[in-house]
Amino acid sequence: MASNAPVGKPTDMSAPRLPKVAGIDSTVPAPPHTTAPLPGVPPAAIPSDAALPPGVLIQDRLASWVSDLTTLHELTERLIKTSSLDEALREVLGAGAALVGARRGMAVLEPADGLGPTSTIGLGLAHADLGTIETVPRGSGSYGRLLDGLPDAGPTAPGPSSARPARVPEPIAIRDVRTEEGLDPRHREVAARLGYAASYALPLATEEAGGLGAAVWLYDEPAEPDERRRHLIGLYGRFATEHLARLLQVERARARVATVAEELLPSRLPRVPGVRLAVRHLTGPQGGGDWYDALPLPEGALGLAVGSVSGTGPSALAAMGRLRASLRAYAVMEGEDPVAVLSDLELLLRLTEPARSATALFAYAEPAQRRIVLAGAGHAPPLVVGDHRTEFVETSLSAPLGMLTCWEAPSVELSPAPGETVLLYTDGLLRRTGDATDRAFARLHAAAASVPGADRSDPGAVADHVLRTLLPGGLDPAVEGEDVVLLAARFA
């Protein structure tokens, strides 16, 4: 008895297909509509087998389009989650490799306006490999030609001509390095050494964002992406450029804020007999109001201060600068009485910054006598680290400056033993740990107690050990949060 055979698709439709790369099936042609469903999608050749059912062709092509759109959506979703330029460039390299069918590549960030920052990121290439590629004359390498032809961002001069959009260079494909005409011999030599035979370079540029850099992907064999892959990488590249432009603006703003913050703080610590100083200052992305100071005072004395102004950004930095400058003046006039210094500072804050509050700690130190008198306003207590003890200084609980109509708190006195280090720090050091306050204090105490004996003679090494222990991953500049200040004073 004959069995009914299932109805199948034509032979060329049921033949095995090449594997997809990141959801892209390069063997499926685009549909021959008079009006393309996706603007700019390059048309594909109509299959020679005209006997294929139209419904099957349309269904297969629509499925291919959905696959492409899904792939682009997934890749762009991953890209927008990046928060730093290097992280974004690595994501662009990985996504681009999947789209063009390569396994190695290099991205160069070099904004055409010349304001930086610049960086080079590799995919599947060691640092030495990147250096080898950079020995190729710039005009011979595809990415170098793109960088030299990148447009500047924004108008450069007033007038109608400045409003015209800049031309974005076309991608450069080198199908076979060995046979490509016009290449520098050094280019062929480097390609042979690194084992790549072809490349595809894409400018990271748009008319709106200007030129930011270029990416190049390397093939192990002579090859180049087909028209469909070029279209997809072009769409992704334009999106990536806009994202990189936003990150570039943020990075430049952070750099400006960090520069202003550093200019408002001491450029170097003073040298005072009997004490060695070291400081570590880590700034968040928006720049906070944390500050420190160390100033020589009459008769061999030393004034040490740390503090934090509420808020972030330029206004907090300006308030911090004014407060620090005022404290220096008060310390010179009445530094022997830390309570008077902070009382004057509190009055100034209420008169000039009524909407702000601040924490502060001021210590009047006499290194020759190893004597310290200090007072704090809403500030964490100092920590004494030595061979025989690691303990917090007992200070009275007091409100931050600007919180009460009249601030006053008693001062305390301590006498560090020879070789002991006194740590002054801001609350950001505790809060950046992510722990509750009591747990953060316990962790700080344990970190200070675990300083190796060989490092205790160096206040900088003590500060570094405490920071590494409390913040093993460092202070991520992309994460919102408070600044961190750690001032260490080791007494002889």
C-alpha span between 445 and 385 (Å, rounded): 9
Task: With beta carbons less than 8 A apart as the criterion, state whether 233 and 99 touch.
Answer: yes
Q: What are the tens digits of pLDDT across the range 373-393?
A: 999 999 999 999 999 999 999
The confidence score (pLDDT) of residue 78 equals 96
| Superfamily grouping for domain 264-491 | PPM-type phosphatase domain (3.60.40.10)
The confidence score (pLDDT) of residue 454 equals 93
Residue 161 scores a pLDDT above 50: no
- Percent of the chain at pLDDT exceeding 70: 83
The confidence score (pLDDT) of residue 13 equals 32
Question: Mean pLDDT across the stretch 242-259?
Answer: 88
Query: Is pTM beyond 0.85 here?
Result: no
Q: Quick one: 480 exposed, middle or buried, by C-beta within 10 A (0-12, 13-18, 19+)?
A: exposed
Q: What are the tens digits of pLDDT across the range 179-229?
A: 998 899 999 999 999 999 999 999 999 988 999 999 999 999 999 999 999
C-alpha span between 313 and 348 (Å, rounded): 21
The confidence score (pLDDT) of residue 313 equals 75
Residue 247 scores a pLDDT above 60: yes
The confidence score (pLDDT) of residue 231 equals 94
Q: What is the largest CA-CA distance in the chain?
A: 116
How far from the centroid of its chain's Cα atoms is residue 123's Cα? 19
C-alpha span between 111 and 109 (Å, rounded): 6
Pick from 210, 110, 192, 219: nearest CA to 156 = 210
Residues of the chain with CATH 3.30.450.40: 73-154+165-257
**Within 10 A of 87 (CB to CB), how many other CB atoms are there?**
15
Q: What are the tens digits of pLDDT across the range 263-299?
A: 788 888 999 999 999 999 987 666 678 899 999 999 9
Residues of the chain with CATH 3.60.40.10: 264-491
Please tell me the class of the 73-154+165-257 domain. alpha beta
The confidence score (pLDDT) of residue 333 equals 92
User: Residue 205 is encoded by which pair of tokens?
Assistant: 């540029």
The two beta strands, 210-219 and 275-282, are unpaired
Assign 3-state DSSP to the chain and report helix, strand, coil percentages, each to 5: 40, 20, 40
Q: What are the tens digits of pLDDT across the range 313-352?
A: 778 888 888 899 999 999 999 989 999 999 999 988 888 8
Pick from 490, 26, 475: nearest CA to 288 = 475
The confidence score (pLDDT) of residue 39 equals 43
Q: What are the tens digits of pLDDT across the range 398-433?
A: 888 888 766 677 899 999 999 999 999 999 899 888
Task: With beta carbons less than 8 A apart as the criterion, state whether 244 and 153 touch.
Answer: no
Q: Compute the radius of gyration of the chain from its Cα atoms.
A: 32
Residue 70 scores a pLDDT above 50: yes
In degrees, rounded to 5, the angle at the alpha carbon of residue 35 between the alpha carbons of residues 34 and 37 is 130
C-alpha span between 188 and 143 (Å, rounded): 15
HSE-CB of 409 using CA atoms within 13 angstroms: 25
C-alpha span between 120 and 126 (Å, rounded): 12
